[in-house]
Amino acid sequence: MKVQTATRKRDLLDTDLLMTEQDIFLGVDIGGTNTKFGFVDDSGKSFEILSFATRAERPFADFVGRLAKHVSEGVKKLPEKYILRGIGIGAPNANNLTGKIEKASNLSWGTVDVVAEVSKYFKVPIVITNDANAAAMGEKKFGSARDLDNFIVLTLGTGLGGGIFINGQLVHGAGGHAGEIGHTIVQPDGRQCGCGRRGCLETYVSATGIRRTVFELLSDRTTPSMLRGISFEELSAEDISRAAQAGDKIAELAFEQTGRILGMKLADFVAYSNPQAIIFTGGLTNAGDLLLKPVKRYMEEFLLKIYQGKTEIFISKLREKNLAVLGACALVMEKILTQEMK
């Protein structure tokens, strides 16, 4: 495979290569612990996803150097006919408008110019966005949202992120910070949040949030529970799912309360932008119907009549397939397409 600097297909026509060349895009998903990357061709076919330790405690330049090295190794494994046309990067607190990661709490780099740094290694268009926006873009390009113009993707992991499509476009907002659904307010004097405030949605609805709910319930009630023997550090969302499946009342109630809070907030967002569907992804969705059923029930209960029965909620079919990497590829494919159309 070759890395090509030109960005417009028609500049690259070469009669010798014309029959064999194929565009390919790199998607990168920068996480607090690991960074994943992979390649997608323009027919949507994806290639092996690779992963390496992010090591955010080291300087950002060190990370970019290692990313370039790992990508180059990955590239060597691909057939010669592929030409890298662009790089899409999803990362926490990544701002599409500035090209920077801005003080992500689980990356100790402060504010870093990702597009500028990565450009030193690869002379192709580079686009970044936050992980939830990348997931939304992935659903639009390769997933269940292909035919939808108005939908929301929620990433329910350690925190809660949102990616919003309105009128067929990803919403970045005036400052590039749209979709911070995890930091909408459930209760003004509620649970302490990593953002420095209190009562944010993600302190209730996320893998961490449901653990906090279990501990609140264990402190409030005398109900016996198999979760009473597990410390906060050890307790995982999977433990809670397993307990609920086994009929544990505290675990069942934790899902019920999580569903009620999320259902109520989703009803607000339906009233605001009237989406056709809300798609869940992220670790907490492993709970399946335990989560989905109460969310649906409560959202319908809190919806204004005109919206009732008209907004679908489902779990992403791409969540097992590295949606964030696919989405990052989709992002840069979309950008190149838009530029070619101009």
- Contact residues toward its own copies (CB under 8 A) are 102, 148-150, 162, 164, 166-167, 169, 171-181, 183-185, 188, 195-197, 264, 267-269, 271-276, 302, 304-307, 310-311
Residue 96 or 158: the one with the smaller Cβ distance to its own copies is 96
Residue 162 or 327: the one with the smaller Cβ distance to its own copies is 162
Residue 185 beta carbon to its own copies: minimum distance, rounded to whole angstroms: 6
Pairing of the two strands 22-30 and 82-90: parallel
Q: How many residues does the chain have?
A: 342
Residue 150 or 236: the one with the smaller Cβ distance to its own copies is 150
| CA atoms of 139 and 326, how far apart (whole Å) | 9
Residue 215 beta carbon to its own copies: minimum distance, rounded to whole angstroms: 23
Residue 315 beta carbon to its own copies: minimum distance, rounded to whole angstroms: 20
Structural tokens at position 342: 């101009």
Residue 90 beta carbon to its own copies: minimum distance, rounded to whole angstroms: 18
Q: Is 189 exposed, middle or buried (0-12, 13-18, 19+ CB in 10 A)?
A: exposed
Helical (H) or strand (E) element with 214:
helix 207-220
What phi, psi does 245 have (nearest 5°)?
-65, -30
- List Cβ neighbours of 121 (8 Å cut-off, separation of 6 or more): 64, 67, 68
Residue 288 beta carbon to its own copies: minimum distance, rounded to whole angstroms: 25
* Ranges of H-type helices in 77-193: 114-119, 131-142
Residue 254 or 261: the one with the smaller Cβ distance to its own copies is 261
Q: What is the 3-state secondary structure (H, E, C) of 148-194?
A: CCCEEEEEECCCEEEEEEECCEECCCCCCCCCCHHHCECCCCCCECC
Residue 25 beta carbon to its own copies: minimum distance, rounded to whole angstroms: 24
Residue 197 or 321: the one with the smaller Cβ distance to its own copies is 197
- List Cβ neighbours of 230 (8 Å cut-off, separation of 6 or more): 239
Residue 196 or 247: the one with the smaller Cβ distance to its own copies is 196
